[in-house]
């Protein structure tokens, strides 16, 4: 498991002058690939494996593997504002309309303790922000950002904090650790 920093591509191959996983994980053995993706401007938990069957099981839509995000949005969101997310909202995916599956969504009671982002988000004194927890089983391109925008709260910062029961814990941006055997078994059970 790796804490992908902000403005890092979820791939090993270079693309212009953007940072990639290779900038942080150069010592890994070959044939290890990310399970899914996190957008360039998103951060947080990214799993990597050389087990193609695990990769396939975790990514296959029929398993609807739950992913939890902490999302800092612009505006003063209340739990009632999130009812649409809990029912599913319509977003655009590849130019087509898509109704999202119901999400688990609520306002976090307090600002989560998260690492500083470099560069930090823009601060505007006159516009408040709110931290949300959003859990989805889908994985459409930029889905969470599109979902919060659809209800009138643009995403400022997005951190994936869990995939299934695997949480980011105390990892810091750019660091990783190997999952223990019990964690891998738990992932495999959830993916079946």
The angle subtended at Cα 161 by Cα 156 and Cα 163, nearest 5°, is 125
Number of domains the chain is built from: 1
Give the per-residue pLDDT at 24.
Answer: 93
Q: Is residue 107 part of a domain?
A: yes
Active-site residue among 17, 23, 39, 41? 39
Q: Is residue 191 part of a domain?
A: no
Main-chain phi, psi angles of 124, to 5 degrees: -130, 110
Q: What is the mean pLDDT of residues 121-131?
A: 85
Q: Is residue 123 part of a domain?
A: yes
pLDDT digit string (tens) for 63-90? 667 899 999 999 999 999 999 999 999 9
Q: Is residue 190 part of a domain?
A: no
pLDDT band (50, 70, 90) for residue 191: low
pLDDT digit string (tens) for 16-54? 999 999 999 987 777 888 888 899 999 999 999 888 777
Give the per-residue pLDDT at 26.
Answer: 81
180 is known as an active-site residue: no
| Residue 99 pLDDT exceeds 90 | yes
Percent of the residues in the chain that have a pLDDT greater than 90, as a whole number: 65
What SS3 class is residue 134? strand
Q: Is residue 187 part of a domain?
A: no
Percent of the residues in the chain that have a pLDDT greater than 70, as a whole number: 93
Q: Is residue 189 part of a domain?
A: no
| Residue 142 pLDDT exceeds 70 | yes
| Closest to 7 measured CA to CA, from 41, 45, 44 | 41
Give the per-residue pLDDT at 184.
Answer: 82
pTM, rounded to two decimals: 0.92
Q: What is the mean pLDDT of residues 102-115?
A: 95
Q: Is residue 192 part of a domain?
A: no
User: Residue 63 belongs to a domain with what CATH number?
Assistant: 3.30.2350.10
Domain that holds residue 151: 2-181
Give how far Cα 90 sits from Cα of 14, 33, 118, Å. Answer: 34, 31, 32
| Closest to 132 measured CA to CA, from 95, 64, 187, 78 | 78
């Amino acid at each position: 498991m790796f804490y992908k920093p902000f403005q890092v591509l979820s791939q090993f191959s270079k693309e212009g002058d953007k940072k990639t996983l290779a900038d942080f994980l150069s010592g890994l053995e070959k044939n290890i690939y990310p399970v899914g993706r996190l957008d360039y401007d998103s951060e947080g938990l990214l799993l990597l494996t050389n087990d193609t069957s695990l990769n396939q099981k975790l990514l296959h839509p029929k398993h609807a593997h739950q992913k939890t995000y902490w999302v800092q949005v612009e505006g003063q969101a209340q739990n009632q504002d999130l009812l649409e997310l809990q029912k599913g909202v319509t977003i655009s995916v590849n130019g087509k309309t898509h109704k999202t599956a119901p999400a688990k969504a609520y306002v976090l009671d307090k600002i989560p303790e998260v690492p500083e982002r470099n560069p930090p988000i823009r601060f505007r004194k006159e516009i408040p922000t709110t931290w949300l927890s959003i859990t989805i089983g889908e994985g459409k391109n930029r889905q969470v950002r599109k979902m919060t925008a659809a209800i009138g709260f643009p995403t400022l910062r997005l951190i994936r904090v869990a995939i299934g029961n695997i949480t980011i814990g105390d990892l810091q941006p750019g660091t990783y650790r190997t999952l223990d055997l019990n964690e891998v078994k738990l992932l495999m059970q959830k993916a079946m």
